[in-house]
């Protein structure tokens, strides 16, 4: 599965400290593994559907990643805390 990065995601990701980037990379790797192998995604990552095309997954207590899934690609859209995600979604519908 191909992982695509939106500019909105990269802008935030590059500003995060190394340990936070690692948290995001780990949760995305686990998600890709589950999607490729058609296994159940752990409930611990808090997978949640936000809209028709967008999903959210937790990468830590206060760090979330918004993404979309197509047949052969996982597109990372945005990362941030709960309030930042709500603000992003409000302005980018």
pLDDT at residue 42, as a whole number: 72
Tens digits of residue pLDDT in 34-43: 888 888 777 7
Q: What is the set of domains in the chain, with CATH numbers?
A: 2-91 (3.30.2310.20)
Q: Provide mean pLDDT across the span 17-26.
A: 96
The residue among 70, 41, 33 whose CA lies nearest residue 53 is: 70
Contact 77, 8 (CB under 8 A): yes
Tens digits of residue pLDDT in 48-66: 999 999 999 999 899 999 9
What's the pLDDT band for 46 if we cut at 50, 70, 90? Answer: confident
Is residue 18 over pLDDT 80?
yes
Contact 59, 26 (CB under 8 A): yes
70/64 Cα distance (integer angstroms):
20
Order of strands across the sheet that contains 63-69: 2-5, 73-80, 63-69, 54-60, 48-49
């Amino acid at each position: 599965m191909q992982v695509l990065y939106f500019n909105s995601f990269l802008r935030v990701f590059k500003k995060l400290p190394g340990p936070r980037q690692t948290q995001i990379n780990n949760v995305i790797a686990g998600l890709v593994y589950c999607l490729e192998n058609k296994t159940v995604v752990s409930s611990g990552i808090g997978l949640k559907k936000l809209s028709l095309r967008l999903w959210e997954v937790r990468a830590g207590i206060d760090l979330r990643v918004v993404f979309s899934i197509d047949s052969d690609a996982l597109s990372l859209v945005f990362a941030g805390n709960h309030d930042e995600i709500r603000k992003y979604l409000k302005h980018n519908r």
